[in-house]
Amino acid sequence: MSKRLQPFPTLVLDLDGTLVDSLADMTASLNRLMAAWGLATFAASDVAPLVGDGTSKLVERAFSARGRSAEARDAEAFLADYVAHAPGATHPYPGAPEALSALRKMGWELAICTNKPAAATRSLLDALGLARCFAAVGGGDSFAARKPDPDHLLGTIAAAGGKASRAVMVGDHANDMDAARAADVPSIFAAWGYGAPAMAAGATAVARQFSELATIAPRLLR
C-alpha cells in the first residue's frame, strides 16, 4: 500500500510590518493628505501604532488624532496617493527574499493576508519583484471579513490551495495572532515589525529575524 502524502504546507504572511517595511511611504502619503487639509503632519513613529486595520482605519485614526472626522474621500485620496508613489522607499525586510526562496524549495506555498486592499498589495508586490513568490493574496477587500476575523485567514489559505491544518500565520499585529488563534492555525509573531511586544501574546512562536521563519515554520507543523 502506498503511503498517503500530506497536503503541502502553506505559510501566510501579513504585509506591512511583516514582509515589507512601508512605514516611510505610508507616512509620506498620510502627511500629504494632512497638508492638503492644513493639518499638522506626523512622524513615522506616530504612524506605526495606527497601522494594522487597513487604509481606511489608518486615515480615520489620523484625522481623529487631529480632532477631525475623516470622510470616505479622504481614505480614497490616501490610497490613490500611496499607490501612485509605490514602491517609493518600501523594501522587503532583511533576509525576506532568501527565506521565501528557501521555504518554496522546501515545498511550502506562500500567501499574503493583509487588511490593505488587494489591488494595492499586488501592485506593490509586483513592483518589488515578489509577486511570483505568492500563490494567493487575500486583501482587506477580498472577502466578506477581514482580520482579526478568522474567515479572512481561512479564505486566503483556501485561495492558495492549502489546508488550515497545514498552515502557519506570520504577522506583527494582534490582528494576525487573533485571526490565527480563532482559525486554529499556529502563528509566528514578527518581532521586527511595527507591533508592540505585547501583541505577541497568544503567538505560538516568536521570530526575531525574517530568516528564522524557514526554521520555525516547519517545526510548528511537526
29 and 119 share a domain?
no
Which are the contacts of 166, defined by CB distance < 8 A and separation ≥ 6? 6, 7, 8, 9, 10, 221
Contact between 62 and 26 under an 8 Å Cβ cutoff? The reply is: no
121 and 159 share a domain?
yes
The whole domain housing 113 covers: 10-21+91-220
152 and 72 share a domain?
no
51 and 147 share a domain?
no
Q: Which residues does the annotation mark as catalytic? A: 14
The model carries a pTM of: 0.94
Report pLDDT digits (tens) over 96-126: 999 999 999 999 999 999 999 999 999 999 9
Q: What angle do CA 39, 44, 50 make, to 5 degrees?
A: 80
Instruction: Please identify, among 42, 63, 85, the residue that sits at the C-terminal boundary of a domain.
Output: 85
In the predicted model, what is the mean pLDDT of residues 59-84? 96
Q: Looking at the domain assignment, is residue 4 inside a domain?
A: no
Per-residue confidence band for 222, with pLDDT thresholds at 50, 70 and 90 = confident
207 and 141 share a domain?
yes
SS3 1: coil
65 and 110 share a domain?
no
Q: What is the CATH number of the domain that holds 80?
A: 1.10.150.240
Per-residue confidence band for 4, with pLDDT thresholds at 50, 70 and 90 = very low
Domain count, the chain: 2
Per-residue confidence band for 7, with pLDDT thresholds at 50, 70 and 90 = confident
Report pLDDT digits (tens) over 169-183: 999 999 999 999 999
